Amino acid sequence: MQFSSPTQLYDAYVFDQDGTIYLGEELLPGAKRLIEGLRKLGKPVRFLSNNPTKDPSEYKEKLDRLGIPTPLDEIANTVVTTTRWLKMHHPDAVVYPISEEPLKRALRDAGIKMSENPEEIDIVIASYDRTFEYKKLQIAFDAIWYHKRAFLITTNPDKYCPFPGGRGEPDAAAIVGAIEACTGTKLKANMGKPEPEMLEAALGDLDVDPKNCMMVGDRLGTDIGMAVRTGMASTLVLTGDNTAEDAQELPEDEQPTYVLERIDHLIPAQIREEWGWSDDDVA
């Protein structure tokens, strides 16, 4: 783990979004010029998110609005990976999504059958759902425990979603925990970081070796964890969830390759100097 800028460029760069590129409605220092710089150098850029309450078009709209115009095919989140996994592995399954509308819309568009009838549900999907209520827990309970026919997957393993100012709210792991507690079942699959499914969705259209790519994020358990599992280089940026001290407490083989306070320091110092970049230039 290094507390200095990388000295080399990588074949492609994969970025978490919230806490890494922006926080709330504000770009983080250096994010815009970093992405512009990587594109100038011809390096593919991809954006990921574990948040399933938005679909990729909403992320595109936000990145565009913040001054980082981004093609839709450069964005993937757990709405994409969940739908993709179901189509590949369980195309005929009947699913019950405990989720918000973006995932349900994607499932409908993909032709995946949904039901609230426990007698016909094959897969319960626990997601980040701010409309979660006892009725939904009962349907999942009946499908898994009473009828003994359904299994449980999740869109993402996050315990909470961070907000600007240090606040947050319960995320998908809270719903997974409720279902596991009452049914005695165990989660069968996770569609978000740190699982490789997310990386496959991000890099699948590129002819690159993940081992020559860089994963950049603010969370050790998901962003850096996915890089460790896939053999990618990784950078923890100290603009979101985890600290440098958190990273140092991990076993050496689970630590990020780099730790940076500013995301634009991903560009090697020699190139930044040639371009005349100064940290004082960007708020």
Is residue 255 within 8 Å of residue 235, measured between CB atoms?
A: no
> Please, what's the b/e burial string for 249-274 (b: 16 or more CB within 10 A of its CB; e: otherwise)?
ebeeebbbbbbbebbbbbbeeeebee
Q: How far is CA 8 from the centre of its chain?
A: 25
137 phi and psi, to 5 degrees? -65, -40
**Mean pLDDT calculated for residue range 208-223:** 94
pLDDT at 200: 82
What integer pLDDT is reported at residue 10 of this predicted model? 97
Residues 255 and 243: their CA atoms lie apart, in Å, by: 12
Closest CA to 216 of 194, 231, 235, 191: 235
Round to whole Å and give the CA distance between 45 and 192: 19
Q: What is the pLDDT of residues 21-50, one digit of tens each?
A: 998 889 999 999 999 999 999 999 999 999
Q: Respond yes or no on whether the N-terminal peptide bond of residue 102 is cis (omega within 30° of 0).
A: no
**pLDDT, average across residues 148-163:** 92
Residue 15 near residue 216, CB atoms below 8 Å: yes
Q: What is the rounded average pLDDT for all residues in the chain?
A: 94
Grade residue 283 by pLDDT with cuts at 50, 70 and 90: low
Q: Which has more pLDDT, 122 or 281?
A: 122
What would the pLDDT profile of 250-272 be if each residue is shown by its tens digit?
A: 999 999 999 999 999 999 999 99
167: which strand partners? none
Q: Which residue in 158, 124, 154 sits closest to 140, CA to CA? A: 124
The reported pTM is 0.86
